[in-house]
């Protein structure tokens, strides 16, 4: 799942804690410990929130709130300096940046972007360079580590399991009854292999010899470190993935205990590399541990293991001991390291015993690859074929260029189009071609903010256009799906360099783009020449005091947590500025001079500590997008500011705190162009008033602190398609008396769906006993739900309805003290008897997190086949004595985290089943606070 991100310690966890008396009554004593990780429970929140006893969020529709004197009496949560909200430095949104991109701009083929199939067609009346500009705007400073708005990641792309390893076909079905009664005959070496199956291009051309040679070196005891080098885009990453995949499967355990592939990149982040290695092997590292302690832990774990470590895309030598990697030796353990780099010097300086060079493709191989992407129908035309040959030769045998060119040209149907492509490619050789990720929604919002997507009446239409453009870019190999998250896409750094080059006007004006490196410095002379500046997640503490930026159109400073102030005099020097992103910075106020930005169309202040918007914002009459999500310090929006933003199309106050008089209902109604909102409401009347604005849809909604309400009905008439068509995040929290949540209504809702909902959170609902589905089944209503969390729902006994959610990937349950079974048979109802339930249970579930469930006895009465399950965590669930793991679960299950005494007390009906999963177990050390980061590898 950017991504995600989802994907986060005075935080959302603090909001979830019951009152002190309630905790004492129900025995919930883990609240303070758990707050180090619970901050990431709501993936749509790029930061944290306050406890229930802090000032509650007030929507523009809420009634009078507490007086100033009452507010001052309330206790304030302790603060750290780690992020722009209220969490300590260990919070995800305050962690250090990862990889930084190069400022170097290399001339490459313009044709890949300017003639990229249907891309231009998808943005009528817009220049292709606008699309390129925005793509680069999001990509050029992407970090290797996951951004805070990409918290919850989703199912990795996988190749289909081959027939030879398909356990479901090889084994008889497990018995239906109790887990302990299951008897399955199992072949040898059924535990999952040491490697994850990784996606590789199809077809792979020209790597057969190198792959065979590399695999032969792995059998040579004299070769501990191997190097692979070659120009960018030649296929080094593909080769490493192919090597990795050779060890995917059960029999591979005879050679290696662990096969680990880690992308390093140009600016290595040692802690990030350590974190990635630890994630792959299931090693638990403390967030606040030093680099040295982490290295010692990794070394202690790996020193007695057989492992293969694949380090991809090194730009310089990497000291293995600094990471914690035992130096490969022939001391009885099979320990190998393979590094890839663009330079032969890198593996040489790392004392590699063997070094392979990966060359560009020979002509026959290059033409085979190119023609496979172009398509035989196009090449049937003799004129096109002759031009195609010339075009393929211009790619110089570089696989990435051949794939990009071939895919782009597959949409060209006339010789004239092909001839134009060749002329553009002349004198622009592709060279210096590893991946940059971005969240799809952020990219689309950037397109909207920069004016690449305009003239839409429905916000859904704008997003649909954006997704269509992304699919077009993917179709011509300019982007690809992230292997880690369904919400993210990737751009290869060669394509990135190409985008930079074309967007900057080629060689003529290469300083138009200022892309951030990990310097923490800003220079006024560089700023004065730039049209676009992107310095995300740097260590910037101060901006230039005076800087004339007459051409600057876009300024992105997202994630610079130490940036506390915008200097006076800076904004008046940016008269053409259209796009300003200050999210996740440490700023506490905007200078009044923000009113001089009369051309500003996009302003993002999400997850900052800003307390009041300046009244001068009334002058921003061209502003279309105002992002204030997670601004927990925001108490005042001056009268008339919102209503003055007459061009406003999207307003996001999700998880924001405002005084009751900050925004009036009339102000919102007056915004004739408003199409999309994010809000937190405290009663149904507020929700109804919000939905009464017919033209506005809601993308994020939190319903909290409902007073005196026993039953909450979310009816189709309330959550209609028009109102909730883009609802992606729904949170219901902190409502003490709520006993039941009802979704749908009898017989009238058979076709009702929250078809875009991806994240659903039920938090701090101590009296909630049941979730009822009327007239619609859960799997029909929530076809796209990926993430579900239940925290401090202390009266809830089971959630049987989750079992058949088709795309559910992450399930987190904590402090539900009455829950005895996650899934339990329920008495049939009139509507449920008519339901046709899917045959597969948890078909896409990837992570299961169970913590502090005092009465949990079983997950289910039957053995379950989890075809996609990768990780399980069980902590402080003393009554859980069985895991309902069937043979299919062994296909991908890599890690089971738990306490040693719990693991040893588990009951297994068949010892052969236990032997399958024994190698998956990882002990949670005493004193370690288990967090969702364990499952996500953050």
Give the DSSP letter string of 199-242.
---SS--S-HHHHHHHHHHTT-TT--EEEEE--TTSSHHHHHHH
Q: pLDDT: is 609 or 456 the higher one?
A: 609
Question: Which range, 62-71, 807-816, 889-898, is most confident?
Answer: 807-816
Q: Which residues have CB under 8 Å from 698's CB, separation 6+?
A: 676, 677, 678, 679, 690, 691, 723, 724, 726, 727
Among the listed residues 365, 363, 384, 280, the one whose alpha carbon sits nearest the alpha carbon of residue 323: 280
Q: Is 782 helix (H, G, I), strand (E, B) or coil?
A: coil
Give the DSSP per-residue string, 13-72.
Answer: HHHHPPPHHHHHHHT---HHHHTTTGGGSSTT-SS----TTSPPP--TT------HHHHH
Question: Positive or negative CA dihedral for 740, 743, 745, 750?
Answer: negative
Give kind and range of the element (H or E) at residue 871.
strand 871-875
Among the listed residues 827, 773, 836, the one whose alpha carbon sits nearest the alpha carbon of residue 806: 836
pLDDT at 288 over 90: no
Among the listed residues 652, 618, 608, 609, the one whose alpha carbon sits nearest the alpha carbon of residue 638: 618
pLDDT at 660 over 60: no
Task: Kindly give the pairing relationship between strand 759-763 and strand 729-733.
Answer: parallel
Measured CA to CA, the distance from residue 317 to residue 349 in angstroms comes to 6
| Structural contact between residues 339 and 352, judged by C-beta atoms closer than 8 angstroms | yes
**High-pLDDT (> 70) share of the chain, %:** 68
Reported confidence tier of residue 545, pLDDT bands at 50, 70, 90: confident
Give the DSSP per-residue string, 441-493.
Answer: HHHHHHHHHTTSS---SSHHHHHHHHHHHHHHHHHTTS-EE-SS-TTEEEEEH
The 10s digit of each residue's pLDDT in 833-857 is: 555 666 778 999 999 999 999 999 9
Q: pLDDT: is 137 or 291 the higher one?
A: 291
For residues 479-485, give the mean pLDDT. 68
Measured CA to CA, the distance from residue 869 to residue 807 in angstroms comes to 12
For residues 656-679, give the mean pLDDT. 78
SS3 content of the chain, % helix, strand, coil (to 5): 30, 15, 55
Lowest mean pLDDT among 21-25, 159-163, 500-504, 793-797: 159-163
Measured CA to CA, the distance from residue 494 to residue 475 in angstroms comes to 17
| Model pLDDT, residue 253 | 66
Q: Which residue has the tokens 């959170």?
A: 761
Q: pLDDT: is 71 or 726 the higher one?
A: 726
The model's pTM is 0.71
| Structural contact between residues 576 and 424, judged by C-beta atoms closer than 8 angstroms | no
| Structural contact between residues 403 and 235, judged by C-beta atoms closer than 8 angstroms | no
HSE, CB side, 13 Å, CA atoms: give it for residue 28: 26
Lowest mean pLDDT among 406-415, 483-492, 860-869: 483-492
For residues 28-37, give the mean pLDDT. 36
Measured CA to CA, the distance from residue 21 to residue 879 in angstroms comes to 25
Q: Which residue has the tokens 């972007």?
A: 113
Q: pLDDT: is 105 or 518 the higher one?
A: 518
* DSSP code at position 514: E
| Model pLDDT, residue 175 | 35
Lowest mean pLDDT among 211-215, 409-413, 568-572, 705-709: 409-413
Measured CA to CA, the distance from residue 864 to residue 886 in angstroms comes to 5
| Chain centre distance of CA 878 | 33
E strand spans, 516-592: 532-534, 554-556, 579-581
| Model pLDDT, residue 510 | 56
Q: Which residues have CB under 8 Å from 586's CB, separation 6+?
A: 81, 84, 560, 561, 562, 563, 564, 608, 609
As a whole number of Å, the end-to-end CA separation of the chain is 13
For residues 611-619, give the mean pLDDT. 93
Task: Kindly give the pairing relationship between strand 435-439 and strand 488-492.
Answer: antiparallel
| Model pLDDT, residue 91 | 33
Question: Which range, 122-136, 213-227, 366-380, 538-552, is most confident?
Answer: 213-227
| Model pLDDT, residue 492 | 65
Computed over every residue of the chain, the mean pLDDT equals 74
The CA distances from residue 45 to 88, 166, 817, in Å, are 16, 39, 26
Measured CA to CA, the distance from residue 254 to residue 883 in angstroms comes to 26
Lowest mean pLDDT among 173-187, 255-269, 321-335, 406-420: 173-187
| Model pLDDT, residue 937 | 58
Measured CA to CA, the distance from residue 613 to residue 578 in angstroms comes to 19
Two tokens, residue 704: 């909290």
| Model pLDDT, residue 613 | 93
pLDDT at 919 over 60: yes
Two tokens, residue 117: 């199939």
Reported confidence tier of residue 473, pLDDT bands at 50, 70, 90: confident
pLDDT at 439 over 70: yes
| Model pLDDT, residue 739 | 95
Q: Is 864 helix (H, G, I), strand (E, B) or coil?
A: strand
What are the two backbone dihedrals, phi and then psi, of residue 322, each rounded to the nearest 5 degrees?
A: -65, -35
Q: Which residues have CB under 8 Å from 736's CB, separation 6+?
A: 19, 22, 766, 767
Q: Which residues have CB under 8 Å from 113's CB, separation 6+?
A: 119, 128, 131, 132, 478, 498, 499, 502
| Model pLDDT, residue 835 | 57
Measured CA to CA, the distance from residue 645 to residue 595 in angstroms comes to 12
Q: pLDDT: is 192 or 441 the higher one?
A: 441
pLDDT at 18 over 70: no
pLDDT at 928 over 80: yes
| Structural contact between residues 312 and 261, judged by C-beta atoms closer than 8 angstroms | yes
E strand spans, 542-648: 554-556, 579-581, 602-604, 625-627
What are the two backbone dihedrals, phi and then psi, of residue 350, each rounded to the nearest 5 degrees?
A: -90, 10
Reported confidence tier of residue 93, pLDDT bands at 50, 70, 90: very low
Residue 743 CB-density burial (10 A; 0-12 exposed, 13-18 middle, 19+ buried): buried
**High-pLDDT (> 90) share of the chain, %:** 30
Q: pLDDT: is 432 or 491 the higher one?
A: 491
Lowest mean pLDDT among 27-41, 61-75, 536-550, 692-706: 27-41
Q: pLDDT: is 768 or 460 the higher one?
A: 768
Question: Which range, 1-10, 820-829, 900-909, is most confident?
Answer: 900-909
| Structural contact between residues 709 and 735, judged by C-beta atoms closer than 8 angstroms | yes
| Structural contact between residues 620 and 598, judged by C-beta atoms closer than 8 angstroms | yes
pLDDT at 16 over 60: no
The 10s digit of each residue's pLDDT in 315-352 is: 899 999 999 999 887 678 899 999 999 889 999 999 99
Alpha-carbon Rg for the chain in angstroms = 28
| Model pLDDT, residue 119 | 33
Two tokens, residue 213: 């040679």
| Model pLDDT, residue 483 | 61
For residues 453-482, give the mean pLDDT. 74
| Model pLDDT, residue 896 | 93
* Cis amide linkage into residue 4, ω under 30° from 0: yes
What are the two backbone dihedrals, phi and then psi, of residue 515, each rounded to the nearest 5 degrees?
A: -105, 135
């Amino acid at each position: 799942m950017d991504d995600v991100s989802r994907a986060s310690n005075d935080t959302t966890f603090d909001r979830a804690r019951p009152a002190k008396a309630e905790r004492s009554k129900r025995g919930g004593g883990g609240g303070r410990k758990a707050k180090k990780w619970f901050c990431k429970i709501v993936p749509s929140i790029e930061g944290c929130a306050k406890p229930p006893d802090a000032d509650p969020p007030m929507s523009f529709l809420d009634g009078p709130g507490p007086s100033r004197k009452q507010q001052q009496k309330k206790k304030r949560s302790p603060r750290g300096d780690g992020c722009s909200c209220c969490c300590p430095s260990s919070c995800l949104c305050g962690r250090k940046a990862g990889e930084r991109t190069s400022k170097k701009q290399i001339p490459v083929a313009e044709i890949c972007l300017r003639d990229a199939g249907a891309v231009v067609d998808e943005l009528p009346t817009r220049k292709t360079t606008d699309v390129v500009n925005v793509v680069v705007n999001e990509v050029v400073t992407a970090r290797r580590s996951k951004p805070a708005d990409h918290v919850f990641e989703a199912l990795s792309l996988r190749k289909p399991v081959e027939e030879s390893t398909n356990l479901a076909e090889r084994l008889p079905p497990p018995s239906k009854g109790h887990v302990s009664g299951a008897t399955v005959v199992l072949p040898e070496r059924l535990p999952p292999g040491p490697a994850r199956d990784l996606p590789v291009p199809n077809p792979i051309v020209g790597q057969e010899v190198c792959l065979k040679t590399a695999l032969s070196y792995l059998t040579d005891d004299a070769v501990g470190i191997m190097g692979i080098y070659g120009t960018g885009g030649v296929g080094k990453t593909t080769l490493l993935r192919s090597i990795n995949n050779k060890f995917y499967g059960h029999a591979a355990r005879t050679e290696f205990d662990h096969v680990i592939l880690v992308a390093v990149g140009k600016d290595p982040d040692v802690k990030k590399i350590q974190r990635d290695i630890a994630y792959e092997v299931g090693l638990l590292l403390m967030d606040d541990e030093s680099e040295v302690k982490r290295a010692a832990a990794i070394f202690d774990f790996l020193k007695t293991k057989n492992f293969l470590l694949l380090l991809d895309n090194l730009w310089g030598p990497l000291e293995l001991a600094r990471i914690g990697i035992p130096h490969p030796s022939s001391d009885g353990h099979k320990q190998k390291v393979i590094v890839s780099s663009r330079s032969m010097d890198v593996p040489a300086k790392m004392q590699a015993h063997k070094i392979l060079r990966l060359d560009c493709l020979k002509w026959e191989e290059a033409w085979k690859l190119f023609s496979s992407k172009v398509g035989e129908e196009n090449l049937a035309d003799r004129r096109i074929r002759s031009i195609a040959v010339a075009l393929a030769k211009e790619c110089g045998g570089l696989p990435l260029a051949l794939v990009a060119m071939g895919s782009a040209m597959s949409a060209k149907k006339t010789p004239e189009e092909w001839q134009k492509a060749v002329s553009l490619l002349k004198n622009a050789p592709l060279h210096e071609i590893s991946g940059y990720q971005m969240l799809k929604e952020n990219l689309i919002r950037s397109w909207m903010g920069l004016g690449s997507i305009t003239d839409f009446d429905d916000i859904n239409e704008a997003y649909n256009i954006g997704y269509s453009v992304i699919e077009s870019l993917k179709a011509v190999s300019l982007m690809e799906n992230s292997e880690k998250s369904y919400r993210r896409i990737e751009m290869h750094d060669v394509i990135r360099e190409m985008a930079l080059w074309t967007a900057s006007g080629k060689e003529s004006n290469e300083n138009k783009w200022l892309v951030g490196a990990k310097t923490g410095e800003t220079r006024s002379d560089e700023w004065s020449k730039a049209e676009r500046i992107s310095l995300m997640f740097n260590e910037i503490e101060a901006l230039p005091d005076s800087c004339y930026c007459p051409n600057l159109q876009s300024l992105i400073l997202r994630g610079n947590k130490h940036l506390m102030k915008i200097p006076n005099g800076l904004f008046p020097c940016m008269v053409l500025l259209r796009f300003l992103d200050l999210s996740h910075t440490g700023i506490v106020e905007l200078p009044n001079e923000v009113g001089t930005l009369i051309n500003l169309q996009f302003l993002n202040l999400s997850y900052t500590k800003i307390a009041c918007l300046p009244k001068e914002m009334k002058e921003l009459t061209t502003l279309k997008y105002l992002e204030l999500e997670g601004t927990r310090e925001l108490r005042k929006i001056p009268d008339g500011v919102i209503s003055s933003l007459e061009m406003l199309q999207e307003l996001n106050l999700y998880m924001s705190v405002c005084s009751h008089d900050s925004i009036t209902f009339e102000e919102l109604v007056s915004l004739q162009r408003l199409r999309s909102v994010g809000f937190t409401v405290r009663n149904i009347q507020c929700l109804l008033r919000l939905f009464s604005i017919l033209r506005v849809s809601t993308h994020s909604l939190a319903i909290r602190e409902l007073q005196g309400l026993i039953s909450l009905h979310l009816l189709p008439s309330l959550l209609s398609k028009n109102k909730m068509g883009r609802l992606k995040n729904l949170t219901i929290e902190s409502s003490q008396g709520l006993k039941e949540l009802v979704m749908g209504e009898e017989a009238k809702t058979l076709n009702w769906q929250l078809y875009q909902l991806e994240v659903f959170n039920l938090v701090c609902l101590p009296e909630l006993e049941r979730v009822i589905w009327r007239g619609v089944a859960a799997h029909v209503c929530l076809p796209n739900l990926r993430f579900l969390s239940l925290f401090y729902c202390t009266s809830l006994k089971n959630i049987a309805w989750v079992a058949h959610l088709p795309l559910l990937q992450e399930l987190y349950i904590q402090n539900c003290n009455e829950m005895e079974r996650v899934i339990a048979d329920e008495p049939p109802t009139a509507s449920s008897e008519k339901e046709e339930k899917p045959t597969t249970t948890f078909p896409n579930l990837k992570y299961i997190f169970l913590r502090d469930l005092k009465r949990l006895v079983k997950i289910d009465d039957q053995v379950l086949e989890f075809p996609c399950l990768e990780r399980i965590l069980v902590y402080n669930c003393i009554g859980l004595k069985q895991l309902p793991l069937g043979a299919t679960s062994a296909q991908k299950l890599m890690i089971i985290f738990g306490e040693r005494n719990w693991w040893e007390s588990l009951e297994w009906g068949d010892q052969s089943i236990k032997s399958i999963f024994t190698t998956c177990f990882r002990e949670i050390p005493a004193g370690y606070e288990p967090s969702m980061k364990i499952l996500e590898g953050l």
